[in-house]
Amino acid sequence: MADETGAEAMAVLRGFMAEMNVWEVRHYPPVAGGDPKRFAEARRDLAPIYDRYVTARERKRGKLMAGPALGSPPEFDPERESTETVEVMPRRVVIVTQQQTGFEMRCRYTLIRRGDRWLLDRKEEYDESDGKWRNAIL
């Protein structure tokens, strides 16, 4: 049961990462060019991804609220982020990953069960300087 639950949550996280990767690759060049219309389009295209994968709650520093933050290489890439651990609890799964590109961050994702769905609720990044997990923009 725990393996199946972990696999379900992992599939949700990988799906989110894949869609975010496509979104970022598509929107990075025009948004980086400073076109305000492209910025609005990127924000509009981000909303359905969040609706599918992310818990609905106030996020003071989320991409959807603050506006799209894009980069190269993309922040999310399921092909370049390896899984280190999966911790399964009754209504929560915590997945720790290691990015293989960019800043090569160690990330911790928390998914929670809402009804019959797993939704991404939090992303944290490990701060090597003090050995603590810090909230990251989701």
Q: What is the pLDDT of residue 111?
A: 98
Q: What CATH number corresponds to the domain at position 39? A: 3.10.450
Q: What order of strands is seen across the sheet that includes strand 81-89?
A: 81-89, 92-99, 106-114, 117-127, 132-135
Contact 66, 46 (CB under 8 A): no
Structural domain boundaries enclosing 30: 2-135
Summary mean pLDDT of the chain: 89
Domain count, the chain: 1
Q: Specify the pLDDT at position 60.
A: 64
Could you read off the pLDDT of 16-72 as tens digits, one per residue? Answer: 999 999 999 998 887 777 888 888 898 899 989 999 999 988 776 565 555 567 788
Say if residue 103's pLDDT is above 60. yes
> CA torsion 45→56→101→24, rounded to 10°?
10
